[in-house]
Amino acid sequence: MIKENSDLLSLIEVLLKDPLEFERIGGHDKIIESGLTYSHLRGLIKRIYDINENQLIETSNANSGMIGLLNSLSTGSRKRKFNHRVDRQKPGKTYFKIYVEGDSWFQFPVFQKDIIDWLNRNDDFLIYSDAYGGDWITNILYEQQYITALSTYSPNFFLISGGGNDLVGSHRLGIMVDRKSNYAKKKYQTISDIKSDLLNMVQKEMILTAQTFLNKEFYAIINLFKLQYSLLFSDLYHPKSKQKHIITITHGYDFPFPSPKRRFSIRYPLQPFLNSMVDSGNWLYTPLMVKGILNRDDQLAIMLAMIYEFGEMMSSFAKTYKNIYHVDSRGFAQTPRDWFDELHLKSHNFHKIARAYETIIRNHSSLKDKVIRTAKAQPLKTE
């Protein structure tokens, strides 16, 4: 037991100090075999962000202030709709029971239709949602309310979204970058090292550029995300698990455009007001400017690289587990006009992403590819 603890502590230090070396030595499997728990992961994220337990709880604003109020109103409405549909099921009709846990791509509080809002327009979808805008995946997994929900509602599908708030909320993006990276190692030396048919040559060059700014903390966080989801899925699909037959659908995010602008369009007249309310600009643009990364192309490259790595990590689980499918939305939004703010697509674009979920829910058993892409590689446009 002492040796196992020693191995675990040693691997934790490698993850924090040299995360790419952690990947090279197969650290993910080794650290889980050494007894890694959610408590260890929670300790890791506190060390990376230099915060204590109270700050970790308070920093997630899913249950506080105006966002907390709007979350509560939206969640209440969804649960009333769920109860209404359950009570009025018709004999002989097929229903899809769905449990949802996650962040603001699944719960953008009122005024906007998010992915789950669009899915809820299907009257044969019985959706029970515990998603909250602003929530952290580390809190979602640590609190484990999904365990009770999966047993209580016995869904056919489990939709989970999380990681964006952990990465960029409250200026945390600034921890991941600097004008000159504190990490001597580079994940990719040349374009040919980036094995992806999702990206075009311009985008691969952008990733090489971004590496000069990405700190070791970024790679540590990506590894941390992978470990969090790995623990979740290893428990969910354990041979003795009651839920091992459930279909899980994961997703990543799209390549964003850092900007302090309050966006406006005739189709979305409340957009400037909501941009101000949620403080759009402070998620991505301001932290980059604080760190002295002033060049627009460099800012775009950094965000593309971050979301690319997060998406690669998330899509890997669909290749590992037979009952996991992944919606890959990277490259879907082509201009800032496709976005409602720095982190969220406009409603009609969320609608298009939701269609990929519907495809999996209705046709998963006949799909040839378990990763559903919503876009092909295209040049990013800044205007």
Per-residue confidence (pLDDT) for residue 86, from 0 to 100: 95
Helices (H), the chain: 2-17, 19-24, 27-33, 38-49, 53-59, 65-87, 115-119, 137-143, 145-153, 164-168, 173-176, 201-210, 216-236, 271-277, 285-290, 296-320, 347-363
Domains of the chain: 37-373 (3.40.50.1110)
pLDDT tens, 107-129?
886 678 899 999 999 999 999 99
Q: Give the number of residues written for the chain.
A: 383
pLDDT band for 164, please (50, 70, 90 cuts): confident
> Is 136's pLDDT higher than 90?
no
Distance CA 116, CA 107 (A): 7
Higher pLDDT, 246 or 337: 246
**Residue 3 pLDDT exceeds 90:** no
Please check the confidence at residue 379 and state whether its pLDDT lies above 50: no
Mean pLDDT is lowest, of 104-113, 239-248, 251-260, for: 104-113
Q: Tell me: the pLDDT tens digits for 172-228?
A: 899 999 999 999 999 999 999 999 889 999 999 999 999 999 999 999 999 999 999
Q: What is the largest CA-CA distance in the chain?
A: 64
Residue 326 φ/ψ, nearest 5 degrees: -135, 135
Output 350-354 pairs: Cβ under 8 A, ≥24 positions apart. 350/105, 350/108, 350/112, 350/113, 350/114, 350/115, 350/117, 350/118, 351/113, 351/118, 353/115, 353/251, 353/327, 353/329, 354/115, 354/116, 354/118, 354/119
Asked if residue 378 has pLDDT above 50, the reply is no
For residue 267, the tally of other CB atoms under 10 A from its CB is: 9
- CA gyration radius, the chain: 20
**CA 124, CA 187: separation in Å to the nearest integer?**
45
Q: Provide mean pLDDT across the span 321-341.
A: 91
Tell whether the torsion through CA atoms of 148, 149, 150 and 154 is positive or negative.
Answer: positive
pLDDT of residue 274: 61
* pTM of the predicted model over 0.95: no
Residue type, 162: G
